[in-house]
Amino acid sequence: MTKLPVIDLLIIFTYLIGMVVIGVYFSRKNKNAEQFTKASGKIPGWAIGLSIYATFLSSNTFLGVPGKAFGSNWNSFVFSLSMPLAAWVSARYFVPFYRNSGEVSAYTHLEHRFGSWARTYAVICFLLTQLARMGSIFFGIALSLQALTGYSMASIMIVVGICIIIYTVLGGMEAVIWTEVVQGVIKTIGALIILALVIKGMPGGISRIIEIGQADNKFSLGSFVPDFTQSTFWVVLLYGFFMNLNNFGMDQNYVQRYHTTTSVSEATRSIWLCVYLYLPVSLIFFVIGSCLYAYYQTNPDLLNEVRMQVAAERLPNGSTTAISQLAASLSPSDIGDKIMPHFMVTKIPAGLVGLIVAAIMSAAMSTISSGMNASATVFSVDIYQRYIKPELTSKQSLKILYIATTMFGLLGMFTGVAMIGVKSVLDIWWMLSGIFAGGMLGLFLLGIVSHKAGNAEAAIATVIGLLVICWMTFSKQIPDEYAALRSPFHQNMIMVIGTLSIFLVGILLSKFRKNKSSNTEQTV
């Protein structure tokens, strides 16, 4: 399909205009930096909860999760199962800490504990994580819209990116939050519509889907063997806990929202509302992936269409024979990200396609706009005011936020363009986020938990942790003759081991210093 029906185009156009109008509406309130970053602290907890939920439910969820379930099983759903524990820790310890500190930046505390280097390191990690996140989201939305419109992925990213930049720059955090409330509702409706259409089009209905899924082990949560070299249940559970703890506990996207509520209890309530919503809805996307697997297994001609499409993209100048041979060799995991767009193109009726596209766009826009606003806030507070110009007027601060928001929106677009051609959008996001977030979380936990760890211990622990993360990330590049030096762990363990390396080394060094000091005093 190279041209959407007029009704679908109208729905998409109306949605985009509506988002821009919201930005224009809230632009009247943005008179200072506090309003732009904190929305003056008057947003109700339920709206923040829906906003955080919408940020979690990105286009990676819309496309990556069904694609992952189609290509493998429900192993990745364990990530969602880890959310309640991470939410409890964050609600119990982190939210009161941030609210009592009054600092809009999540990373100011690190400078108080360990010095300016710690704050700068965390800021750099956060900004790199945001670029990876925004890039993967841009990539995900372009992947689906390319199948629907025929336009190039780069062109789609630019058009959507401009719309996001407009309403985020104009409206600030308050516009981001209220658009995400709307987007969260649209996303949920879109997911339910897709699920209903897949089940309706499946010969034999739900019973046949379950039969095929059970036969091909599509409902498995992964092996329960304590093996950390593969994506077992325990690997994803550990990765999910640490990543969700990073999200709820120290990601500027979420920390900034805690300051927009009226109280600690409202901020805590927003976290739990997100968990209550995200758990069942994320399960729906895994169910969609399994349903699509059963549907395409019973429609081999459609499955072959997808295989040929992927093969043609990988061999743009290949002969028909070569493309056919490659298509025949492709596994379900090779074509997972293309399944949802193909189903939308071929099986969703006019009118509903526009709504589904709007849902996917809303999934992308909520996460990207949130990342832009948070990145701009961190840049303004932790970089510009810290190192360039400490004393800023209210008008100057607001101007810097406008410029930084635009800058990070453009950088996110360029990152998305650079990702064109990756095999799995979900895999690439998990890998990059694990690399950048692991060291940041380890340092932050060390500062919060250990009151005895000092600047030197934190610096040494961070260097050791970074070496561990780099080794685990790039050890596959080690030549075969030195294969014994490669990391045996699954890539999702980078986040876990990187975090624990910094945290535990810092604890041990602080204890060693204490014991050494005690022995010295006794000797004297």
Proportion of the chain above pLDDT 70, given as a percent: 89
Q: Is the pTM of this model over 0.85?
A: no
Is residue 1 pLDDT above 50, yes or no? Answer: no
Q: How confident is the model at residue 280 (pLDDT cuts 50, 70, 90)?
A: very high
For position 461, what pLDDT does the model report?
92
Mean pLDDT of the chain: 82
Is residue 337 pLDDT above 80, yes or no? Answer: no
Rounded CA-CA distance 212/480 in Å is 40
Is residue 434 pLDDT above 70, yes or no? Answer: no
Q: What is the mean pLDDT of residues 48-77?
A: 81
For position 288, what pLDDT does the model report?
92
For position 37, what pLDDT does the model report?
66
Q: What is the mean pLDDT of residues 63-83?
A: 88
Q: What is the mean pLDDT of residues 250-257?
A: 79
| Burial degree of 85 (CB within 10 A; 0-12, 13-18, 19+) | middle
Is residue 359 pLDDT above 80, yes or no? Answer: no
Is residue 12 pLDDT above 70, yes or no? Answer: yes
The CA distances from residue 415 to 128, 194, 372, 436, 438, in Å, are 10, 29, 13, 15, 21
Q: Can you tell me whether residue 246 is helix, strand or coil?
A: helix
Rounded CA-CA distance 114/452 in Å is 11
For position 86, what pLDDT does the model report?
93
Q: How many residues in total does the chain contain?
A: 524
More confident residue, 154 or 219: 219
For position 332, what pLDDT does the model report?
85
- Asked if 103 and 252 count as a contact pair (C-beta separation under 8 A), the reply is no
Q: How confident is the model at residue 2 (pLDDT cuts 50, 70, 90)?
A: very low
**What residue spans define the domains of the chain?**
6-523
Is residue 308 pLDDT above 80, yes or no? Answer: yes
Q: 6-523 sits in which CATH class?
A: mainly alpha
